[in-house]
A and B are shown apart, each in its own frame.
Chain A
Amino acid sequence: MNALDLSRWQFAITTVYHFLFVPITIGTSFLVAGMQTAWYRTGNEKWLRATKFFGKLFLINFAMGVVTGIVQEFQFGMNWSDYSRFVGDIFGAPLAIEGLLAFFLESTFLGLWIFGWDRLPKKLHLATIWLAAIGTVLSAYFILAANSFMQNPVGYEINPQTQRAEMTDIGQVLGQPLAIITFTHVITMAFLVSGLFVAGISAWLLFKGRSLDVVRSTLKLGSITALVAFVLTGITGDAQATKMVEVQPMKMAAAEALYETAAPAPFSIFTIGTLDGSEPIFSIDIPHGLSLLATHSWDGEVQGINNLQAQYEEQFGPGDYRPNIPMAYWNFRLMIGFGALGALIAAWMLWVTRKDRIPTTKWFPRLALFSIILPLLGSSTGWIFTEMGRQPWVVFGLMQTQFGVSPTVTVAQVLTSMIVFTLLYGALAVVEVGLLMRAVKIGPPDSAEHSYPDKLGEDRPLTVTY
């Protein structure tokens, strides 16, 4: 193991881990804001209980997202300093803007929301959760714009003196179609994740016969959110794949293990074989499928790995420009499979609970809780596909990953940090899941009433404390 490999592992571990909390935070902040709005509008106490309950779960999750996020920002400089030097002029800007526009908004207004029940008038308190939710989405936008630059660099030029990338057009960096498409794909995915998070927990409580009025409503809310989000995730994913064929054809060829350029190209559903270009042992293909997906035409040409490799060698010089094909192929399929399975369970939960039914099969609560993990796995495999499919590049066409690593950081240092983060994150995962399970077992409060101060600054005792 060298420092490069270790740094890649560490980045993968810390990023995949961080990104378990992100989609839950994004989607659930809106769902909780929706619940509180429902209470605000209807005065129905069940929505207040739902707000309190899912708000608590949301905050347990949010804490982890915050603390693991700090590592992300530091890691570019710590482990990828040559990368940071090379793209700092462009990549640093969205990160700084994310902090200034999004992190302040999220953290400040969430603080106001948590502790504001006794300090803010009703309407203002409702506004704080919405502002925090907007903060989460802004944050996603800027970091995805930065990531999109790595996938498809735009709005820059290479300074001939320093050999570094310099920004020439912020509009392109923040507004390139790939950034917008990726953003929509990630946000819709976040709602799929959160929809199942809310629905799965509600279904478990429904089976236990707890707070039925609350969980019936939240189960519906969660499942329908998940289903709509799944459809939208599919549509945005299709847009992203089409865009990817244009800007990173190698990634999509790897996703299909398509070695030779083909027109029409089939879509491979499943393959048993080595995926090294030799004849597979067994495979299921949909004729014309990939042509349709990638080019939206029946006989569209899709470039193959070998052709692209030859083309890149000509363009960038000798080298291996192929990502890890089995990883790309399988993660792409797992992403879709996990997401679809999650949506299927959401539909099933909705069906078996129609007209206030409560299923008696023990599979119901089990599958319900299990379904929460599925879209999270979909999101993780999707990111692993996206990032590994870009290899050997860290910035596509401009800088290879191996040249981005910190030249002064030693194997011992990275090994230390990797072990420390992995152990710490592992231990915190146990604590976090333990707390979430406690909160779920306790369930929504049996009754809730709340009277807000009439005006800002009214003196009254605190009910929310740390």
Chain B
Amino acid sequence: MELQQIWIILIAVLWMGYFVLEGFDFGVGILLPVIGKSEQERRALLTTLGPVWDGNEVWLLVAGGATFAAFPEWYATLFSGFYLPLLLILVALILRGVAFEYRSKRSDPTWRKRWDAAIVVGSFVPALLWGVAFANIVRGVPMRLGEQGNSLYDGGFFNLLNPYALVGGLTTLTLFMTHGAIFLALKTDGEIRVRANKLAGQIGLVATVIAVIFLLWTQLAYSDKAWTWALVVVAALCWLAGLAMNRAGREGWSFLFSAITLAGAVAFLFSVLYPNVMPASNDPALSLTIWNASSSDYTLRIMTIVAVIFTPIVLAYQSWTYWVFRKRVSPSQITNADHGSLDLPGEGTTGEKIGV
């Protein structure tokens, strides 16, 4: 196997990790006010993410860094081409990251409400736009030849808002929302667990319809490989299994299946693309492929060694974190709504008193 092939697989794996992990914390973020009816419940929801969300987001940073290192042409053309959607994603990620850390720092209900809104919007926007971005890559974008003979993105912002890409966006959005609800059903206790379970089933149905349309559309319109049907089938079956397990109240299995679905969907998109990484819709000669977008063999070799040594270590300690925090979080554990807040004397205690 060539180094370029190893690296496109590794980058696909990083995106799988990102979609599976940050996928659920996007879902939890979007559903925060829907599932968390009271302050106590919302804090319980956020506490399920507390120890892990930042580590989840690093998967994106590493995917970005790995793309830069292994396929600089792709990184350069993609990031400069998708400028405004990426700006929106960045703003959303900034807002939601800060919101997680700051929302409970004051007990003032307005303060908390505003940060909650930031969490919802900050989770919604990337959940939608990652799908839009990936769908556009699969669909192909107009490209032109640059001065140094490289392929440059040659479409505007609105070019990215086509029906197929919007279906792609809705797919990731609804998949992440379902995935997040399943995660909550697995990680919480009490009423929110019941609510999350029910909601996972409902949103899951919507997601099923949209995702099936998206997968079929992708396979029929953009895949030149018959074997990618296999991935469509695997993803679809796992999704249905996940929903069935959710119905049966088998939360662990449900989460596992929805995680496999997300990973499978990423694998499917990368397989449809292969060996392209950014096909040109106007002229195939302009397409970026793993061959013409890659770094030198030397760099790829070094990076392979680094990845082989450190990825297992990272996986080990990150999994261990999930194990350490495996206990369910129950709203009843949160006995003081002002806990952790930086209220000055005279402030606070106006928030919902809990345990009443």
Whole-angstrom CA separation of A190 from B232 in the bound complex: 51
Whole-angstrom CA separation of A438 from B106 in the bound complex: 10
Q: Does A424 contact B (CB under 8 A)?
A: yes
Residue of chain A at shortest CB distance from B306: A97
Most buried by A among B68, B102, B296: B68
Instruction: Mark each residue of chain B from 16 to 45: 1 if its CB lies under 8 Å from any CB of chain A, else 0.
Output: 000000000000000000000000000110
Instruction: Mark each residue of chain A from 58 to 101: 1 if its CB lies under 8 Å from any CB of chain B, else 0.
Output: 01100110111111011011110110110111111101111111
Q: Does A297 contact B (CB under 8 A)?
A: no
Judge whether A96 and B97 touch: CB under 8 Å. Answer: no
Q: Does B303 contact A (CB under 8 A)?
A: yes
Please indicate the chain A residues that have their CB under 8 angstroms from the CB of B148 in the complex.
Answer: 82, 85, 163
Among candidates B69, B94, B325, residue contacting A67 with C-beta atoms closer than 8 Å: B94
Judge whether B324 and A466 touch: CB under 8 Å. Answer: no
Judge whether B321 and A108 touch: CB under 8 Å. Answer: yes
Judge whether B52 and A435 touch: CB under 8 Å. Answer: no
Please indicate the chain A residues that have their CB under 8 angstroms from the CB of B314 in the complex.
Answer: 100, 104, 108
CB distance from B212 to the nearest CB of A (A): 32
Residue of chain A at shortest CB distance from B157: A413
Contact of A101 with B296 at beta-carbon distance under 8 Å, contacts A67-B94, A114-B50 already known: no
Judge whether B62 and A88 touch: CB under 8 Å. Answer: no
Residue of chain A at shortest CB distance from B122: A67
Q: Does B302 contact A (CB under 8 A)?
A: yes
Q: Does A456 contact B (CB under 8 A)?
A: yes
Among candidates B83, B299, B343, residue contacting A166 with C-beta atoms closer than 8 Å: B299
Q: Does A159 contact B (CB under 8 A)?
A: yes
Q: Does A428 contact B (CB under 8 A)?
A: yes
Please indicate the chain B residues that have their CB under 8 angstroms from the CB of A67 in the complex.
Answer: 93-94, 97-98
Total number of A residues with any Cβ neighbor in B under 8 Å: 78
Please indicate the chain A residues that have their CB under 8 angstroms from the CB of B77 in the complex.
Answer: 81
Judge whether B296 and A92 touch: CB under 8 Å. Answer: no
Total number of B residues with any Cβ neighbor in A under 8 Å: 82
> Among the listed stretches A220-228, A288-296, A404-412, which one makes contact with chain B, having 4 or more residues with CB under 8 Å of it?
A404-412
Judge whether A459 and B344 touch: CB under 8 Å. Answer: no
Q: Does A442 contact B (CB under 8 A)?
A: yes
Whole-angstrom CA separation of A408 from B67 in the bound complex: 20
Residue of chain A at shortest CB distance from B155: A408
Q: Does A244 contact B (CB under 8 A)?
A: no
Whole-angstrom CA separation of A407 from B307 in the bound complex: 32
Q: Does B78 contact A (CB under 8 A)?
A: yes
Whole-angstrom CA separation of A388 from B302 in the bound complex: 32
Whole-angstrom CA separation of A93 from B67 in the bound complex: 10
> Among the listed stretches B131-139, B172-180, B259-267, B333-341, which one makes contact with chain A, having 4 or more residues with CB under 8 Å of it?
B333-341
Additional A-B contacts beyond A96-B303, A465-B339 (4; CB < 8 A): A93-B69, A111-B51, A111-B55, A465-B104
Ranked 8 nearest A-B pairs via Cβ? A88-B72, A77-B79, A92-B69, A92-B68, A96-B65, A63-B101, A81-B76, A81-B80
